[in-house]
Amino acid sequence: MEKLGINKKSVQKSWYKFSKNPLSIIGLVVVLVIIFITIFANIIAPYPKHAEWFTDFKNAKLPPSLGHPFGTDTMGRDVLSRVMFGFRYSLMMAMVVLVLVVPTGTFLGLVAGYYNNTWLDTIIMRLTDIFVAIPSLVLAMMISALLEPSLFNAMLAVTLLWWPWYTRLVYGIACSMRNEYFVQSAEMIGATCEPLAIHEHGELRDGCVLWQRKDVRAFQFIR
């Protein structure tokens, strides 16, 4: 852990604070249960076939019961089974989009923030402003009109919509820390990867983590 820049005592202290909060433990249990359902949806779901193309008009629009705890939809499919399989696609979208968006937005924000008031900063941030200025719904509709409806194309559309927000977040933090002493010290000893010194700062890490937590919730509605 020390080789990765993780302080063991800091992790233990964070876990101690986390474990003392009952709501945090409840949230952790809920997340673990959702992940478990996502992985074993084929086994846990009462009607796995209802997650695919399936029709049973005889049992359409049934109210909640022992056989169908969430009832059935207009096609006669079990809603509970579809919810369980829906977790899988929602988490997949969140993970894939964040894996693509966070490194891209963080890198561009660091570069623009470190080289503040230069042509590089101007190009990156003006391009970011262009994407932010376009309404997200309009841009998503444009992408959807050009591409066939699919999970991959939905992830592509969300990726194009989300990276500017991480760029602006990291840019603001990087600009505020550009003249910090640890950055100047890195320059004095001849460091060649100055942006990495900013990247390791706790404020940047915490800001990105909080933003990712918000985005994971937002992706559930986008899908």
**Candidate from 31-35, 80-84, 209-213 with smallest mean pLDDT:** 209-213
Q: How far apart (Å, rounded) are the C-alpha atoms in residues 57 and 76?
A: 5
**Residue 145 domain-assigned (yes or no):** yes
What digits encode the pLDDT tens for the residues 153-192? 777 777 778 888 888 888 888 777 776 776 667 667 766 5
Residue 221: the pLDDT is 53
The answer to whether residue 31 sits within a structural domain is no
Looking at residue 3, its pLDDT comes to 46
**202 occurs within a structural domain:** yes
The upper half-sphere exposure of residue 63, i.e. CA atoms within 13 Å in the direction of its Cβ, equals 0
Q: What is the pLDDT of residues 77-112, one digit of tens each?
A: 999 989 888 888 888 878 888 888 888 888 888 888
What whole-number distance in Å separates Cα of residue 101 and Cα of residue 164?
9
Residue 146 in any domain: the answer is yes
More confident call, 167 vs 7: 167
Assigned domain for 56 exists: no
Phi, psi of 78 (to 5 degrees): -70, 120
pLDDT in tens, 116-154: 888 888 899 999 888 888 776 677 677 767 777 777 777
* Residue 28 placed within a domain: no
Determine the structural domain holding residue 112 and report its residue range: 93-222
Burial 4-34 (b: 16+ CB within 10 A, else e): eeeeeeeeeeeeeeeeeeeeeeeeeeeeeee
Higher pLDDT, 61 or 221: 61
Residue 4 Cα distances to 7, 14, 48, 98, 191, angstroms = 9, 17, 42, 21, 19
pLDDT of residue 38: 86
Residue 195 has pLDDT above 60, yes or no: no
Inform me whether the pLDDT recorded for 204 exceeds 80: no
**Looking at the domain assignment, is residue 164 inside a domain?**
yes
Q: Give dist(CA 89, CA 108) in Å, integer.
A: 28
- How many independent structural domains does the chain possess? 1
> How far apart are alpha carbons 20 and 95 in whole angstroms?
28
Cβ neighbour number for residue 120 with a 10 Å cutoff: 14
Residue 51 included in any domain: no
- pLDDT recorded at residue 163: 84
Taking CA atoms, 167 is separated from 30, 135, 140, 143, 183, in Å, by 31, 17, 19, 21, 20
